Structure 1
């Protein structure tokens, strides 16, 4: 999708709750005001966002972010949010569209803004935009060519739309061993009969 305005972006496919984030004057992606989840969004899915949330992007990567509530609302933990920002090389002209996908799962679409139009990013960013602000820049070393390992566990986990491509690009030292695990939700039910317990 190219050439969309922010208004048109929010009007498309409004069957699921969604919200949009971009930077205001004087803000950075690490500002506390950017980490808040709008209360209307939280109310639209009661119980869906209590302690943590999983962000997934078009190219299959996902991030678990812990949530913290204070008197001003529900916030994403700073360390988790900064990792998401850093991994995606978010810059001052980027726009994020968050769509409620399932309990604790949010699909995030990343758009680059130029003048009044947006272009969706559909593949993993390999490096930062030279004019963009980056919270924590990634090392610019090229990792050795290694095939991505199979997921550690697939039983009962919600599968991402695509496999993680080149997970070693997110490591400080890609030659160290690493694991790829798909996050998922599991519902356990404990049934107790009316028997007496001692």
Structure 2
């Protein structure tokens, strides 16, 4: 069963009930996000709902301690909190640039963390591109939500061999089934 360390109201932190199986061992996964109202939240909600099907137990963290902007004191606090939380998780999955930034500082020595990039790296300053490349040095796996995001990362100097494209999906259960005509 998934639990929330820091709950964000827009996200349901419990897995879908159909995945609950007594006695089934699940690998704990810590999902790290920053405050967001974008498609990233829908993506993370999908992971919370469907990772249990594949024997993972997702836990959500991040909204209260990862701020939208870089700040020395707030970020060092976030690094400390995340490093402490991650000790109990064999896999950590960070979503977005801000969470990736905090994860890179906190988890440089953690063997199994994943960074999912949800936004294009286009027309950013040389400093921003350098930060993205620095973040990309540390995760075991980098995933991009589309070919376009991957292409932006590659143009920004991140090796294409480091990036796996994992496209988002559509939950068809949310749509009404229309009869064939």
* TM-score, length basis structure 2: 0.32
Q: Choose between structure 1 and 2: higher helix proportion.
A: 2
Q: Choose between structure 1 and 2: higher strand proportion.
A: 1
Larger of the two Rg values belongs to structure? 1
* TM-score, length basis structure 1: 0.30
